[in-house]
Amino acid sequence: MPDIRESIQIDAPAARVSALVSSGEGFSKWWAEDVVLHPEAVDLGFFNRATVYCVQLVRSAPSETEWFCKSGEEWEGTRLRFILNETKGQTLLRFTHAGWKADTDYFVSCNTTWGALMFRLKAVAEGKPTVPLFSKIGWAL
């Protein structure tokens, strides 16, 4: 089963990065503006809710957060893993979107999108001005 792998160095402590990847409120700062919070789960809406991903929090520890994807034709059953390694106030974030059934066109598109998302996450963690990559209706500028 193919996985998407990302890695990025962030000039911020792990606790700040962890807060951004372990809650819907965190996701709304760099990923999607349209988030609905449920206990232990989050709905993320894209393109006027043409796509909605429901992700459930599996575990959240200071150095590792994992979400289980409950919806989405190709996302259902996949997992989002954020692993953080802090050294001298800097954090190496390793991200895996694991358990895809196949290496499809959508898999490749999502690989590209996750790359851009890593840089939005980095900017927020580093306190630089940015907005989430997806507004309620489409791509943010």
Partner 1 sequence: MADLKHQIPIGSTPEKVYGALTTQTALRAWWTADAKIDEKVGGNAEFGFDRRATVFRMKIEKLEPGKRVVWSCHGDNPEWTGTTLTWDIAPQGKMTMLRFTHSNWKAVTELYAICNSSWGELMHRLRDHVEDKNPGPHWKE
- Interface residues with partner 1 (CB under 8 A) are 5-9, 94, 105, 108-109, 111-119, 141
Residue indicated by tokens 């840089």: 119
The answer for residues whose C-beta is within 8 angstroms of residue 128's C-beta and 6 or more apart is none
Q: CB of 10: closest distance to partner 1 in angstroms? A: 11
Q: CB of 3: closest distance to partner 1 in angstroms? A: 10
Cβ closer to partner 1: 67 or 134?
A: 134
**Tokens standing for 136?**
């309620």
85 neighbors 91 (Cβ within 8 angstroms):
yes
**Tokens standing for 92?**
């190496």
Cβ closer to partner 1: 48 or 112?
A: 112
Cβ closer to partner 1: 5 or 38?
A: 5
